[in-house]
Amino acid sequence: MLSCGLFAQQAAFEGTATNAVTHEPLSGVHIRLIGLHNMPVGPFDTYGAASDKAGHFSIAPLPPGSYIFMPQYRGFVYAARKEGALPFPSVTLKSGERVADFKLEMTPEAVILGRVVDEYGDPLERAQVAAEALSSDFVTANATFMEGGPDAQTDDRGMFRLTLVPGKYYIKATASNFSNGPPEIRTDGTVTADYAPTWFPGAPGKDSAVVVETRAGAETTGIEVHMGHATRQRTLSISGTVSGIVPGETQGYVAMQFGESLHRITRSSSTQITREGRFTFSKLEPGFYQFFAMQPSPGGGTVRRGPTVEIKLENADVANVELQLSGSGDVTGTFEIEGDPPNAPQEKRSIRLRSTTMFDAASSGDVDRDGSFHIAAVPQGKFDVHIDPLPEDAYVKTVVLDGTVAANGILDLHGVPGARVKIMVSRKGAHLSGRVRDAAGEPVLNSVTVVVLADDLDNVDLDTRDDSHTAFVKADGQYSFQGIRPGKYHLLAIDAFHTADADKPGVMKKLAAAAEEIEIKEGDRISKDVKIAIKEDASAKAKN
């Protein structure tokens, strides 16, 4: 039987580009279709065309599948209703489909002109200004399609210019006064000129901000953001102590990462640890933070690192955070393959301990011919175990830490020097393969789709680094897993172009809970098709 990819017919995409306001044809519109079909490594196939004097354009032939749709025309923007998790418009073409009458309506840009001023009405330079749309139902084509929302930086006159899709927006200004350390001490009655993030016209939060409405092809002027002083609009701080610092060595520092959730870390920074073993981060926004302490040895030797601490910062300062540096220690152990003769010679492999936190730290060591290994200076924390390479069809069956079986194969290390680990691998891992289909039962071709084997609904995530639980779908719609650990799994497929809100916290968990549950036994060879999960699945009952 021929695979779907072999008999899939080419598609075509044609249409007319017009001015969305005047409905006149537009010539010279640059149309691009970007296929992310070779995920996760690329290269990405890009097809293009330009509209003629009548506004007509044609891109053919095209492999069937889903594409990022990126039309560009100076002074115009393109917006479309959001369908999936990706923050840009898309086009999906089925096998043999010929779209001949696509109406590409380009909208004249809306422009917001304004300035940011301080408490005295003087211009504030290098402030970051961002526009947040009231509605998140639409996505916009962007020349650098990995960018976030529209933003700009003020010049020496405090001026900014934002080009947007016509609509309603909140405007937020953020001054460049982020600080790694305690607030400045002043005794003359003055205060430092630090500013909290401020929403137009001078609100401390979005709930009290004024909405700015823009129109196509028009400039909205006179938007002036009056920055709120940090003494009036209170910013937050996180402080604490670091224990386990080795005297006489480099004092060390505390690393920090910040984001709107623990899975969306967007900014990182660090600060020195004081001689008293304290640290402070001030002028912080509410959000999710992660911290750990590090102490390099003199001369650039071993770096000692403590476990990660996660904090949700809300409406009050967080003090007395305790970080540790006493947890680094060596891990030694043995690697065995079940059924192989005792002390059977091992081929060249390495053991990699990957942190389960967002910092993605990893420590590794080579396996000797007799199966022993040694990993130096492993910090405190939780780690999953990776073998590079694993034997074909193999999986990590058991991980034993100091005589106790590690739950779910996760090493919970507390920095006890001399920790012993025994890793047992089985060659009887299961196989699972099949084809991903859409709601109509048709194979999904050339799409950014990931199949997830979820064995823990509280921690389900699109972690494409973990090939034991996630697999990219091939161009012909096929997916496969090898070396699967026996157990019960929820099986679901997420299409980045069409599975709505899969990028939102909690939605993945609900989709996984509603997906079919399958039991996989050691050595199984299972062929099973799976349908694309849709948002409505989240409200359905779990399948068994």
**Tens of pLDDT along 222-241?**
999 999 766 555 568 899 99
Among 324, 358, 374, where does a domain finish?
A: 324
**For range 358-382, the mean pLDDT:** 80
350 and 434 share a domain?
no
| pLDDT, mean over the chain | 83
b/e burial code for range 341-366 (CB count within 10 A of at least 16 → b): eeeeebeebebbbbbbbbbebebebe
251 and 277 share a domain?
yes
Among 370, 395, 426, where does a domain finish?
A: 426
43 within 8 A of 50, measured Cβ to Cβ: no
Residue 544 lies in a domain: no
CA distance 450 to 443: 14
* Structural domains in the chain (count): 5
Residue 475 lies in a domain: yes
Query: The tokens of 430 are what?
Result: 């299961």
The enclosing domain of 34 has a CATH number of: 2.60.40.10
* Helix H or strand E encompassing 444: none
- For residue 421, the cross-strand partners are 333, 401
534 and 438 share a domain?
yes
Q: How confident is the model at residue 479 (pLDDT cuts 50, 70, 90)?
A: very high
287 and 343 share a domain?
no
Q: How confident is the model at residue 144 (pLDDT cuts 50, 70, 90)?
A: very low
CA-wise closest residue to 452 among 407, 408, 499, 396: 499
Query: The tokens of 130 are what?
Result: 């961002």
Residue 519 lies in a domain: yes
**For range 383-390, the mean pLDDT:** 89
- For residue 303, the cross-strand partners are 296
Give pTM, 2 decimals.
Answer: 0.73
Domain that holds residue 83: 4-108
| pLDDT: which is higher, 318 or 343 | 318
Among 300, 324, 348, where does a domain finish?
A: 324
303 and 218 share a domain?
no
Render pLDDT for 394-432 as a digit per residue (tens, 0 to 9). 999 999 999 999 988 888 886 556 789 999 999 999 999
185 and 269 share a domain?
no
131 and 216 share a domain?
yes
Q: How confident is the model at residue 466 (pLDDT cuts 50, 70, 90)?
A: low
Residue 204 lies in a domain: yes
146 has a pLDDT exceeding 60: no
339 has a pLDDT exceeding 50: yes
316 and 254 share a domain?
yes
337 and 301 share a domain?
no
The enclosing domain of 456 has a CATH number of: 2.60.40.1120
436 and 528 share a domain?
yes
117 and 183 share a domain?
yes
* Helix H or strand E encompassing 236: strand 236-243
Give the range with max mean pLDDT: 59-73, 340-354, 493-507. Answer: 59-73
